[in-house]
Structure 1
Amino acid sequence: MVVRRLESLGLIIGPLLFALSPLFWIDGHYGVTGGLLIAIAAVPWMYGLIGEYNALRPRFPLLSGLWMLLVLIGMFGTVAFGLQGVFESVFGITEFRSLATFDIYPLPVAIVLILAGPLFPVALLSLGAMHWWTGLTPRWSAVLLVFAAAAFPVARISRSVPVAFIADLVMLAAFCVVAWFAWHRRDEESI
């Protein structure tokens, strides 16, 4: 029960730290503080998502395993994007120079940023679908998760602080609901 409660807290702390990151963006870029918040947010968020995996695994053994793989790869991409912002700021790399460097290393960039990054919202979309089917949370909560998953890439692509902050608040709200139900989930409901 203690671990499940800690996992529930991770589902709040991770998205909360992530939601704070746009407040520290500099001209649409993550910067040191914003990027660091994104990278650090991955740890408690991932811990909480492991708890959701444990609740989903008995109902969807194969699907939940594939979902967890998406989560891990997507979270890797999320951390990479955050650290990219940190290192661009620390080393004074301009956007033009950063993009030019991507031309030199097309395969690593494709793997780390272009493939891994978008898998996180796909994983969140899948989580919403699995919550819809299992009833681990009310259906409106599953819809909120799906909406948050769709808003996530829009917010990042736009590089608009208000858009990102609103999208991140929707994400935080969705995960607060998931955390609430995970916190109150009985052990037999997880099986």
Structure 2
Amino acid sequence: MVVQRLQAAALLLGPLIFALSPFFWVDGHYGITGGTLIALSMVPWVYGLIGEYERLRERVPTLAGLWLLLLVIGMFGSIAFGLQGFFEGVFDITERVSLAALDEYPPHSLFLLWLPGPSFPLALLAFGVLLGWTRMAPRWVAVLVCLAAVAFPLARVLRTDWVAYIADLLMVLAFGLLAWRAWHRPVAAATSD
């Protein structure tokens, strides 16, 4: 029961922390505080999603395992982008200079940023599809998760504050609903916490 409640709370806490980041953007860039919030948000968010993985694993074990791998890679990419924003702010480097420096290390930046970066929103989209397909949540909630997953990278690519606010509000709403459902879910008989 305790773990279930912690994971339910984490399903909301992660997106809430993440949603604070655009309020600290500096000229459309993550900056020190925004980058820190993005990186830190991944820990509770993924912890909450691991609780959902356990439920998915019962219904679609192979797909759940592949989804978990994508989720972990995406978490790594989101943390990397958050840290990039943090270090750009710390060293007072513009995004152009930062991206130009990354061009000098193509395989490294490919594996640290460009491949894992899109994996987190892709994992959220896959999660929404799996929620709907397995009927672990009402279809409208699954659709809301999918919409939030699509809006997530759009907001980050456009770097427009109001788009980010709307995208993050959609994400908080979708995961708030999932957190509410997880909090009130009956505890499985096999668990002993």
TM-score range relative to shorter protein: over 0.9
Give the direction of change, closer, same or farther, for the CA distance of 1:60–1:84 in structure 2 (3 Å limit).
same
Q: 1:14 to 1:43 in 2, by over 3 A?
A: same
Shift of 1:152: 0.7
Q: How many residues align?
A: 191
Match of 1:57 in 2: 57
User: What is the Cα-based RMSD across aligned positions, in Å?
Assistant: 1.5
Alignment of 1:67 with 2:85, yes or no, is no
Shift of 1:144: 0.1
Q: Post-superposition shift, 1:190?
A: 9.9
Contact 1:136-1:181 at 8 Å conserved across structures: no
Gaps of 5+ in 2: none
The one-letter amino acid paired with 2:148 is A
Give the aligned partner of residue 137 of structure 2.
137
What is the identity, as a one-letter code, of the residue corresponding to 2:62?
A: L
Identity of aligned residues (%): 59
Cα 1:68–1:190 change in 2 (3 A) is farther
Q: Who is 1:14 aligned against?
A: 14
2:123 alignment partner AA: A
Q: AA paired with 1:157?
A: V
Matches within 5 A, 1:23-38: 23-38=23-38
**Where does residue 185 of structure 1 map in the other structure?**
185
Structure 1 residue 187, shift from structure 2 partner = 3.1
Q: Which has the higher helix share?
A: 1
Q: Which one-letter code corresponds to 1:13 in the other structure?
A: L
Q: Which residue matches 1:156?
A: 156
Alignment correspondent of 1:5: 5
Deviation (angstroms), 1:71: 0.3
CA contact (8 A) 1:25 1:31 kept: yes
Rounded to whole Å, the distance in 1 between the matches of 2:95 and 2:160 is 16
Q: Deviations over 1:35-62 (max 9, x none)?
A: 0000110111011011000111110111
Measure how far apart 1:92 and its partner are. 1.1
**Residue 125 of structure 1: how far off its partner (Å):** 0.8
Instruction: Give the SS at the match of 2:78.
Output: helix
Deviations 1:99-139 (A, max 9, x none): 11111101111112111010111111111111102222111
Structure 1 residue 127 and structure 2 residue 135: aligned? no
* TM-score, length basis structure 2: 0.96
TM-superposed CA distance for 1:30, in Å, is 0.3
Q: Measured at CA, do residues 48 and 85 of structure 1 come closer, stay the same or move farther in structure 2, by a change above 3 Å?
A: same
Instruction: Tell me which amino acid in the other structure corresponds to 1:177.
Output: L
Residue 76 of structure 1: aligned partner: 76
* 1:117 to 2:123 alignment: no
Give the letter aligned to residue 23 of structure 2. Answer: L
1:137 counterpart SS class: coil
| Runs of at least 5 residues in structure 1 that lack an aligned partner in the other structure | none
